[in-house]
Amino acid sequence: MSQGRPAAEIEHVTFSYPGSADPFPILEDVTFQIEADDYVGLIGPNGAGKTTLLRIMLGLLKPDSGRVSILGMSPVEARSQIGYVPQHAGIDATVPATVLDVVLMGRLHRSSWGPKFTNEHVEKGMEALRKTGVEDLARRTIAELSGGQRQRVLIARALASEARILLLDEPTAGIDAPMERSFHELLGTLNEEFPIVLVSHDIGFVSAHMKTIACLNRRLVCHGAPEVTRDLISEAYIDHGVHRLVTHDDDCPTCLPDDENQG
Amino acid sequence: MIDFFRDMAINPLLLTGLLAGLVASIACGVIGPYVVTKRIVFLVGAIAHTAVGGIGAAIFLRHHFPATFGNLDPFHGAVAAAILGAIVIGVVHDRVQERMDTLIGAMWAIGMATGILLVKFTPGYHVELMSYLFGNIAVVQGADVLRLLVMDIVIVSVVVLYYKRFLAVCVDEEYAKLQGVDTLRTNLVLLTVVALTVVSLMQIVGLILVIALLTLPAATAGHYMKRLGWMMVVATGLSVLLTTLPRMAVYGSGVSPESAIVLTAGAIYLCSVLFRRLRSV
């Protein structure tokens, strides 16, 4: 898998929202690389610029300065090869569409005009649902699914697009702890095939499967193996007035022991 | 009801009215689900009222400049203004960070005011405008039916072609964009066929009641159908019933057929809401 060339390079990226009253940019001189077999946990408190960075990586926002390259291309060029998994709450669950309909959206850029997807596309969609373990839900509607199931459907959609890198935005929002554990295992398995970037505000979400942790708080506060020191992560949070660290996953190497976690 | 069929033999307008209802039902059933799903019910209202401006302009131009615009029909004005209104709303919403409901309200009022103003300057055409406002299913001609049929063909062809893309922008517009869908163009195409549908239905129930016919059958169908395609089929079926039965039922009673159609549609929708509520308790 790892053939030397990084999956993504973010170089000196600075970004402010136009018209923002904040005198500081939301992202300032952010630089890091995502290796071809990497699994990056991009964490930071709310308002740290995580989603902004993700949107820059998707080419939905242009950085004020700096350069982003995904799979050796500009973000816009790379779009069709980026498997983007948005927050599941962003999907309109009242739309009259089945799970398979939603997953087939991942085949849109390869499909022709007309009302139907060919059998080949449907087969790819079903294969993606199999991979994420929700094949039996294919004929259900999104409204009938739990948060965890919806998240798996959205990952299946990203897989169906034959993406070469996965970007996930706050995937565990609204998912309970047991679901979260199996979700980590799924991502660990998928990481054997794809580089993954997972954005979360919850440092308890750092999983044993992650290979790199990037802590963002306007600047990149730390970046390295999950064994990064507790102090560095704390700094990223306490800067923002958040003193209590939330942990969910016992396997997490960077989590605080429970007794230290109560204050 | 029996009177209706008896008189159909001597009054061809009853038959053409019936046919017009059937043909309009197709546009209504196919487009209604998009209007409901995409939550653009009030945008439809704005498009309909923009069409009034076009009707007024057509009547005005035809009356004052018969040499140039002698062949202009209010229908042409309605189609042009509705499409223009739809595109303006679509583009402005995309390019300018303007509140959608404010924009819709502005188009709504400006369209209506323009129409009334222009007709005011054109004596003798008040009735024609009124027939567009309140519908004229009782006097629909064979040529109107043909025109509706052409509109149907255009609307259905576009929907067949764009089906996957329309669904994608309904489910998750941002993801559709990342998948290389030109979301602005797709939305504009969708709004254009919505505008065509609005003008078609105006012939049947009048613009004031267009919203009802475009939303109520689709919303009722949406209570039971999981997929957009089936929602269209059921909404079309409901529309066919709605544009025929209530009209026959009130025939000869003095009740206006347009009101009968919309009140029946409303009653079915509300019953369906209640039924679902009771079933889920």
A137 and A197 belong to one structural domain: no
Q: Is the pLDDT of residue A229 over 60?
A: no
A135 and A258 belong to one structural domain: no
Q: Say which CATH number the domain at B202 has.
A: 1.10.3470.10
Tell me whether residue A53 is in a domain: yes
Percent of chain B with pLDDT over 70: 99
Q: Is the pLDDT of residue A243 over 50?
A: no
Which candidate from A90, A108, A114 shows the least CB-CB separation from B160? A114
Domain count, chain A: 2
Q: CA end-to-end span of chain B, whole Å?
A: 38
Instruction: Choose one of A141, A163, A185: the last residue of a domain.
Output: A163
Model pLDDT, residue A250: 37
Tell me whether residue A85 is in a domain: no
Tell me whether residue A82 is in a domain: no
Q: What is the dihedral of CA B150, B155, B157, B163, to 10 degrees?
A: -170
Distance, CA of B18 to CA of B22 (rounded, Å):
6
Model pLDDT, residue A17: 86
User: pLDDT tens for residues A60-88?
Assistant: 899 999 999 999 999 998 888 899 998 87
A155 and A213 belong to one structural domain: no
Residue B220 has a CB neighbour count (10 Å cut-off) of 24
For B15-32, letters b (16+ CB in 10 Å) and e give ebbbbbbbbbbbbbbbbb
CA-wise closest residue to A210 among A193, A197, A221, A220: A197
CA-wise closest residue to A50 among A199, A197, A195: A199
A96 and A13 belong to one structural domain: no
Which chain A residues contact residue B167 at CB under 8 A? 95, 97, 101, 105
Distance, CA of A251 to CA of A141 (rounded, Å):
34
Taking CB atoms and an 8 Å limit, are B181 and A108 in contact across chains? Answer: yes
Instruction: Choose one of A143, A163, A183: the last residue of a domain.
Output: A163
What phi and psi values does residue A87 have, to the nearest 5 degrees? -65, 135
| Structural domain range at position B67 | 2-280
Longest dimension (CA), chain B: 66
Tokens of B117: 């103003």
DSSP state of A144: G
Query: Per-residue confidence at B160, pLDDT binned at 50, 70, 90?
Result: very high
Q: Say which CATH number the domain at A205 has.
A: 3.40.50.300
Say how many CA atoms lie within 13 Å of A47 toward its Cβ: 7
Taking CB atoms and an 8 Å limit, are B165 and A108 in contact across chains? Answer: yes
* Least Cα separation, residue B178 to chain A (angstroms): 6
| Structural domain range at position A143 | 91-163
A10 and A129 belong to one structural domain: no
Tell me whether residue A79 is in a domain: no
Model pLDDT, residue A228: 55
Burial classification of residue B12, based on how many CB atoms lie within 10 Å of its CB (0-12 exposed, 13-18 middle, 19 or more buried):
exposed
Cα B35–Cα B97–Cα B45 angle in degrees, nearest 5: 30
Model pLDDT, residue A247: 39
Q: Is the pLDDT of residue A25 over 90?
A: no
Taking CB atoms and an 8 Å limit, are B172 and A58 in contact across chains? Answer: no
User: pLDDT tens for residues A128-168?
Assistant: 999 999 999 999 998 888 888 888 999 999 999 989 999 99
Which chain B residues contact residue A105 at CB under 8 A? 167-168, 171-172, 175-176, 179
Asked if B196 and B154 touch (Cβ cutoff 8 Å), the reply is yes
ipTM of the complex: 0.84
Nearest-CA residue of chain A relative to B180?
Answer: A109
Tell me which amino acid residue B97 is: Q
Best to test chain B binding among A20, A101, A109, A141 (most B CBs inside 10 Å): A101
Domain count, chain B: 1
Model pLDDT, residue A89: 67
Tell me whether residue A80 is in a domain: no
Tell me whether residue A16 is in a domain: yes
Distance, CA of A160 to CA of A152 (rounded, Å):
12
Nearest-CA residue of chain A relative to B221?
Answer: A96
Asked if B206 and B133 touch (Cβ cutoff 8 Å), the reply is yes
B206 touching A (Cβ < 8 Å):
no
* Least Cα separation, residue A24 to chain B (angstroms): 23
* Least Cα separation, residue A235 to chain B (angstroms): 34
Asked if A247 and A255 touch (Cβ cutoff 8 Å), the reply is yes
